[in-house]
């Protein structure tokens, strides 16, 4: 295993030299936003060291977001990662690197990408089945299209916020079947959705499709993602056009983007896809894959669920192929999320909607309080771990948010 002993990073650290996620940070001395790489509990100022050493891709990491790097394409992504691995593990380069490293605790982290378009999928069969049973108890749990295409919708890019941003309880219209008329007010069913976000680069032209086997060229990395959801607003508004104001008030993304290249050892075969999807969603062998990420949902520090990402039905490459099959173009900084990750077990569900069965079976927390949905002051934190090389573990950076009262 490669080590970065001089940085005091233990070999089993979740942000060890086999991980190297990208983010955007600033410091008190230098408030401008710049691209960094996390190593252990430190941040390498990638923009500064790239400029100082004159590497050919220095311009791609010189901006205030990761978008320049995303636009540089997959060959550059690989070159930068190779350079970083060498720079951080070669004891002969200590002096070159040392002056560009900051303590993570002294850094302020920012939204790592300027989000271009944001799409949210619905790729967990267990989640879709649970939601179908809750909202359509008299019908089929899965809609007739579900196993033929990865269902998704276009969300609101400008309300994607970085981990740590306060989440203001949204207000809106809602009406339960028992209500004689709709009413307006703060959401009473504020919820989470534990998801994985995919960061996209390598822009394409309008009219160009990206095939399943080409998708990895556009998949830069992943980040934990919380699609905050107001279930009461959502339930009243979503028929017939889908999610709208019940979702668009905030979606939180982790501050560190884990390169797909760091998750080589986490790739697993997809679960069985029957019926076989149409050709454009199939791709050659191994081009549609799952990811072995063990996710964790914490409410005020207490683990309330452990969703297993490997149980997802659709591959990220299939989602990207479907997203572009009509000729919709990709932009650098596009972000798509997997949809809520829920496993087959009750303690593997990625939303309170499912964990409390729409509030009918509240959770009892360790402090004796109960939750059907989120209360003001609640903090939700999502994390995940994945297998790395040689028995190591990669820890995806957390996405966290605290609920503040409606305004």
Residues that bind Ca ion (CB under 5 A): 120, 193, 227
Q: What is the dihedral of CA 154, 155, 158, 164, to 10 degrees?
A: -140
Distance, in Å, from the CA atom of 202 to the CA atom of 214, rounded to the nearest integer, reads: 11
Q: Which of 344, 353, 358 is nearest to 126 (CA)?
A: 344
Based on the residue annotation, tell me whether 127 is a catalytic residue of this protein.
yes
Q: Which is nearer to Ca ion, 25 or 118 (CB)?
A: 118
**Residue 359 is encoded by which pair of tokens?**
């509030």
Of all residues in the shown chain, the one whose CB is closest to Ca ion is 227
Shortest CB 367 distance to Ca ion, Å: 28
Q: Under DSSP, is residue 286 helix (H, G, I), strand (E, B) or coil?
A: coil
CB of 351 to Ca ion, least distance (A): 8
CB-based contact 359:184 (threshold 8 Å): no
- The residue among 193 and 214 lying less far from Ca ion, judged by its C-beta, is 193
In terms of CB distance, is 102 or 189 closer to Ca ion?
A: 189
* C-alpha–C-alpha distance, residues 86 and 81, integer Å: 9
Q: Which is nearer to Ca ion, 9 or 194 (CB)?
A: 194
> Which residue number, 113 or 192, has a Cβ lying nearer to Ca ion?
192
Strand ranges, E, within 1-52: 22-27, 34-39, 42-45
What's the CA gap between 256 and 383, in Å, rounded?
A: 12
Smallest separation, CB 191 to Ca ion (Å) = 10
Buried b (16+ CB within 10 A) or exposed e, 169-200: bbbbebeeeeeeeeeeebbebbbbbbbbbbbb
Residue with tokens 């680069």: 201
Residue number, 14 or 242, with CB nearest to Ca ion: 242
Q: Please state, in angstroms and rounded to a whole number, the distance separating the CA atoms of residues 243 and 235.
A: 9
| Residue 288 near residue 317, CB atoms below 8 Å | yes
Give the nearer residue to Ca ion in terms of CB position, either 227 or 332.
227
Q: Beta strand pairing status for 118-121 and 334-337?
A: parallel
Residue-wise DSSP of 357-394 = TTTTSPEEPTTS-EESS--TT-EEEEEEEEE-GGG-EE
Radius of gyration, alpha carbons of the chain: 21
Contact criterion met (CB below 8 Å) for 345 and 356: no
User: CB within 8 A of 92, min separation 6: which ones?
Assistant: none
186 phi/psi in degrees, rounded to 5: -60, 140
Residue 139: CB minimum distance to Ca ion, A: 21
Min separation Cβ 119 and Ca ion, Å = 10
102 or 247: CB nearest Ca ion: 247
CB of 349 to Ca ion, least distance (A): 13
What is the rounded distance in angstroms from the CA atom of residue 72 to the CA atom of residue 285? Answer: 27
* Residue among 127, 154, 218, 286 flagged as catalytic: 127
Q: How far is the CB of 365 from Ca ion (least distance, A)?
A: 24
> In the complex, what is the shortest distance from the CB of residue 340 to Ca ion, in angstroms, rounded to a whole number?
5
- Catalytic positions, please? 127
């Amino acid at each position: 295993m490669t080590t970065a002993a001089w940085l005091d990073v233990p070999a089993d650290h979740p942000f060890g030299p086999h991980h190297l996620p990208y983010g955007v940070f600033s410091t008190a001395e230098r408030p401008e936003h710049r691209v960094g790489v996390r190593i252990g509990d430190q941040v390498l100022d990638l923009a500064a060291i790239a400029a100082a050493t004159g590497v050919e891709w220095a311009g791609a990491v010189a901006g205030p977001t990761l978008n320049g790097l995303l636009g540089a394409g997959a060959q550059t992504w690989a070159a930068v990662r190779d350079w970083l691995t060498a720079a951080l593990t070669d004891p002969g380069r200590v002096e070159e690197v040392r002056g560009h490293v900051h303590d993570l605790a002294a850094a302020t982290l920012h939204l790592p990408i300027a989000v271009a378009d944001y799409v949210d999928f619905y790729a967990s069969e267990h989640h879709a089945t649970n939601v179908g049973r809750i909202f359509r108890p008299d019908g089929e749990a899965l809609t007739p299209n579900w196993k033929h295409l990865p269902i998704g919708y276009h969300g609101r890019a400008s309300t994607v916020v970085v981990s740590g941003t306060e989440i203001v309880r949204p207000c809106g219209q809602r009406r339960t079947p028992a209500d004689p008329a709709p009413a307006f007010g703060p959401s009473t069913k504020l919820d989470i959705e534990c998801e994985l976000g995919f960061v996209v680069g390598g822009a394409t032209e309008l009219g160009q499709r990206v095939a399943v086997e080409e998708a990895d060229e556009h998949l830069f990395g992943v980040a934990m993602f919380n699609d905050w959801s107001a279930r009461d607003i959502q339930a009243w508004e979503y028929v017939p056009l889908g999610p709208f104001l019940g979702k668009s008030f905030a979606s939180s993304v982790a501050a560190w983007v884990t390169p797909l290249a760091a998750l080589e050892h986490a790739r697993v075969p997809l679960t069985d896809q029957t019926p076989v999807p149409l050709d454009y969603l199939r791709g050659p062998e191994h081009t549609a894959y799952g990811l072995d990420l063990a996710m964790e949902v914490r409410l005020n520090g207490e683990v309330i669920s452990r969703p297993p990402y490997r149980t997802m039905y659709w591959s990220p490459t299939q989602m990207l192929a479907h997203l572009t099959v009509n000729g919709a173009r990709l932009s650098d900084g596009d972000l798509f999320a997997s949809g809520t990750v829920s496993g087959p077990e009750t303690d593997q569900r990625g939303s309170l909607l499912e964990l409390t069965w729409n509030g009918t079976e509240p959770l009892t927390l360790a402090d004796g309080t109960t939750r059907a949905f989120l209360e003001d002051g609640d903090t939700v934190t999502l994390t995940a771990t994945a297998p790395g090389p040689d028995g190591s573990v990669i820890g995806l950076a957390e996405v966290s948010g605290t609920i503040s009262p409606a305004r």
